[in-house]
Structure 1
C-alpha cells in the first residue's frame, strides 16, 4: 500500500498584482511530523501571447509568520493515496501578507499566456521539511494575471 498522499488546490484563481510577489498556495506540517513535497502544478490565465513570463518559486517555508490560515484562506486537503490517516498538516492559499521565512528551492519562468508547469519529484528526490515547517508556491508576474496551483505532500 502506498504512503498516504494529500492534495491541496487553490480551488479558483488567485489574482496576482503586477511586480508583487504573492504566495498562492502552501503547506505546513504539524508539530509531530514533517512533509515530503511530491508534486506541484501551476497555470496562468494570461490573454496575450506577448506577455512577459511569470516567476514561479517553489519555497521551503519555516512559517515564522503568517502560517496557513493566518493572512490567508485555509484550504481543506484531500487524501489521494494510502491508508486513511489524519492529514497531520494544514494548507492555505491567497496570502494577503507574505509569510516568512521562505527559501527558494526551485524557480522557473512560466509564460502567462497558456503557461503551465507540472512537476512530479522522482522517488527518493522529494524535498522534505522539519516538524511544523513546510512548502509554498510564490509567484511574481510583470502584469496582472491569475494563477491556479496544486501541491501534493506525504507525511514523513
Structure 2
C-alpha cells in the first residue's frame, strides 16, 4: 500500500522525524519521536512522545520540508488527502474544480477503493517545499508512481 505523507518533516541525526508547529504558549517547532534514545539529543518526554522544542524565527541547520501529495486521476489534478481502511480520499484542486463545474469553496471529495485507485491513477507525487528557518536540500518533486 502506498504511504502518503502530507505533513512537515525534519531530518535529524539521519532519521526522518515529524515536525509540528505549536502555538500553545509561544510559537515553536516541535521535533517529535517515539524513540527514547532522542533524550540524548535534548528531547524531553511529553505525554507518550519525546519532543525537542525549537523557537520560531531562528535558523536551524536541519534539513526540513513540507510535503503535499498529489495525483493525476482520470486526467485531472487531485490532492491525495488520505488512504485509510482500503479507501482513498481525493480532493480536487482548483483547476479541476473549475473544469468539473464545482465552486472553488466546495469541499466535495472523491472516495474510492484502493484497488480502483491504483489501477486508474496515472501519476502520484510529493511536492516538497521549504520551511522558513531550516535548510531545504531535497528534490522539490518526488514521484511515487510515474507513467512512462
**Pairwise same-fold verdict (TM > 0.5):** no
What's the TM-score once normalised by structure 1's chain length? Answer: 0.27
Which protein has the larger Cα radius of gyration, Structure 1 or Structure 2?
A: 2
**Bigger relative CO (Cα 8 Å, ≥ 6 apart):** 1
Greater helix share, structure number: 2
TM-score, structure 2 as length reference:
0.28
